[in-house]
Amino acid sequence: TDEFADEGPFMDITGTYDILRKQRIIEIECVTMRRNPIFQQILPAGNEHRILMGTPREAAIYKRVSKECKVLDVRLTNGGCSWLHCAVKIEKRGEDDARKAIEAAFEAHPSLKHVIVVDGDIDISNPSEIEWAIATRAQLDKDLILKPNQIGSSLDPSADQITRKTCKAGLDATIPLHVDRDKFVKARIPGEDEINLDDYVK
């Protein structure tokens, strides 16, 4: 119909209640059912919900960032609801590659709130490795980009609920090109790759 009504509030991908939204009223004229029907339902904020919403955005971010630098992987993090937080892994060739990646990620997915860019040796499917990169490779006075008063996601309860304005942030947690990289990589025991525990444990 041409009529609209309030829908919700419902729980959304963040696990919080979404805003009321005006949606069209529909009139049901007929309901049919097959034998032994299966009803597909998505549990809000569950893994299926996050995969279905987040995965296509990861592809869009990957494609857009690839135009700016060598991108290796993109992950909308589970802790960021697979919607608001993004980790981008790049092969850094220019000193401004991380900043270019940050801007490109925000452009590709306007609902993003925070973007973290890391080097190729970081496993972005592991939150601890992302945090380790921040702890050992980032200096916030130089590597943090703040973008205040940006249009964000209506799914972010901390954003202004009328204007949707939020402060977005990007963090370059990559190793600078002009330094000794050996100081930034995890120390390993020499020869550990050559050890076969089967030779010692029976």
Catalytically active residues, by annotation: 12
State both tokens at 80: 């960021």
- Strands (DSSP E) found in the chain: 4-7, 21-24, 70-76, 85-91, 114-118, 144-151, 165-173
Task: Tell me how far apart the terminal alpha carbons of the chain are, to the nearest angstrom.
Answer: 74
Q: Burial, 123: exposed, middle or buried (Cβ in 10 Å; 0-12, 13-18, 19+)? A: middle
CB 167 within 8 A of CB 188: no
How many residues are there in the chain? 202
β-pair type (4-7, 70-76): unpaired
Q: Burial, 7: exposed, middle or buried (Cβ in 10 Å; 0-12, 13-18, 19+)? A: middle
Chain position carrying tokens 């000794």:
180
